[in-house]
Amino acid sequence: MQISMKCSIAVHCLIFIHEAKGIAKVTSTLLSQSTGCNPVIIRNTISALKKAGIITVARGTGGAELCHDPSEITLYQIYSALEPDGLSSLIGIHACQGLQCPVAQNIHHVLQNPYHKIEDAIKETMEGITLQSMIDDFHKFV
């Protein structure tokens, strides 16, 4: 079970965008250098964040900016922008329903409720973490 690295790359980019406001025009090249990621990955990340309404990017000249105050952007929004079906596929159930074994025939039903509870708890926790709180944590280390 793992939340993909797309989320950490996106948070990195968003903190960089916030910190660079008024200092530098944030482009995919600059973000690629900061994250150590391939520029294509950064462009895909930026595109997903833009589509979700988290950032805006100036046409032509580039330059990403946050659309909302960091206190209004949650980790869940960021994650959902990159992994729309992420939580529902976070914990998988193996395929075995066609087997004759009574456990195999019912394991999906047995695990469905506990897995939904786990997904709900993760979502609730992620909704309680804002970009601002992560920026505040960032400032503790610089």
State pLDDT tens for residues 1-58: 456 789 999 999 999 999 999 899 999 999 999 999 999 999 999 999 999 999 999 8
Query: Which residues have CB under 8 Å from 70's CB, separation 6+?
Result: 14, 18, 130, 131, 132, 135
- pLDDT tens track for 58-85: 887 778 999 999 999 999 999 999 988 7
pTM given for the model: 0.88
Q: How far is residue 18's CA from residue 22's CA, in Å, rounded to a whole number?
A: 9
Q: Is the pLDDT of residue 133 over 90?
A: yes
Burial category of 142 from C-beta neighbours within 10 Å (exposed 0-12, middle 13-18, buried 19 and up):
exposed
Q: Is the pLDDT of residue 87 over 80?
A: no
Question: Any idea what DSSP says for residue 70?
Answer: G
